[in-house]
Amino acid sequence: MPFQLVHTNFNVLDLKKSMDFYQNMLGLKEVKRIVAPDDSFIIVYMADEKNYCQLELTWLRDREEPYDLGEKEFHIAFTTSDFDAAYKKHKESGVICFENPAMGIYFIEDPDGYWVEIMPK
C-alpha cells in the first residue's frame, strides 16, 4: 500500500510574520486556510507552485511563549535550481544560521527558530 507525504506542521507565534518569511524567502503561497469557529486557532497551508507537499503553519490564539524546538536537529529541506542566487538572497536577508560548504548546503532560520535546509537541485 503506497503512502505519500502531504504536509509537515510548524506551530508559530506570529502567523503573518511566518507567512511573510516563507513567501519572501522560499516563494511559498497560501493554498488553504482553516479558522476555528471560536477563533482559537488558524491553520494555513503553504506550498510551492507544484504543490507536491505543503507546509502547515498553525497559530494558537492562547499561545504566548516560544515553542521548545529541542536541539534543532530536525528540519525541512528545499532544493533550488539557482543555488547561488538563493544563497545571495538569504545572506543579504540575514536568515542564514548555519553553513556546511563541504556538503554544499546551508540552513536558514524562520521567525520561530525552525531550520530550513537549502540545497542545490
Asked whether the beta carbons of 54 and 7 are under 8 A apart, the reply is yes
Cα–Cα distance measured from residue 8 to residue 49, given in angstroms and rounded to the nearest whole number:
17
Q: Which of 56, 99, 109, 117 is catalytic?
A: 117
Active-site residue flag, 117: yes
Burial class of residue 28, CB neighbours in 10 A (0-12, 13-18, 19+): buried
Q: What is the helix (H) or strand (E) element at residue 97, kind and residue range?
A: strand 96-100
Q: Which residues are catalytic?
A: 117
